[in-house]
């Protein structure tokens, strides 16, 4: 619809627009405004949910970081003990292993004999 200006054949009461055309545009604007409001509300709630999820993920990552640090410390201590053990004499280690095997053998022998 094209506006019709006063003095070009329109009546003075219409102010340049026909009533039916103006209300159609008004209704369409209201419908589009409501649609936009709904979409903005959905985007807002989605961004709030994303923010909450990001906070939870950052908290979980922080906890995992501290867990990995403690595991790294434990692994470092174990590696230190292994280096100390590797630098020690092999005969001492072999003696400990033989005594342990002998102990296990006697325990098994004793359990079998008691039956």
What digits encode the pLDDT tens for the residues 14-70? 454 555 567 888 999 999 999 999 999 999 999 999 999 999 999 999 999 998 888
pLDDT tens-digit series, residues 59-112: 999 999 998 888 888 888 888 887 877 776 677 778 888 999 999 999 999 999
Is the residue at 37 inside a domain? yes
Please give the Cα distance from 19 to 2 (Å, whole number). Answer: 13
Is the residue at 11 inside a domain? no
pLDDT of residue 19: 56
Which residues form the domain of 83?
Answer: 22-89
Please give the Cα distance from 64 to 66 (Å, whole number). Answer: 5
Q: Which residue(s) pair with 10 in the sheet?
A: 6
Is the residue at 100 inside a domain? no
pLDDT of residue 7: 46
Is the residue at 98 inside a domain? no
Is the residue at 29 inside a domain? yes
Is the residue at 53 inside a domain? yes
Cβ contacts of 10 within 8 Å, gap of 6 or more: 4, 16
- Number of structural domains, the chain? 1
Is the residue at 64 inside a domain? yes
Is 0.85 surpassed by the pTM of this model? no
């Amino acid at each position: 619809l094209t506006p019709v200006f006063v003095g070009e054949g329109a009546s003075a009461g219409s102010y340049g627009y026909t009533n039916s055309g103006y209300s159609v545009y008004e209704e369409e604007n209201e419908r589009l405004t409501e649609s936009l409001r709904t979409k903005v509300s959905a985007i807002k709630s989605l961004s709030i949910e994303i923010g909450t999820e990001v906070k939870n993920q950052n908290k979980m990552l922080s906890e995992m970081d501290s867990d990995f640090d403690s595991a790294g410390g434990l692994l470092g201590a174990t590696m230190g003990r292994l280096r100390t053990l590797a630098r020690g004499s092999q005969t001492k280690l072999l003696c400990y292993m033989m005594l342990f095997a002998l102990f296990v053998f006697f325990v098994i022998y004793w359990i079998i004999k008691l039956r």
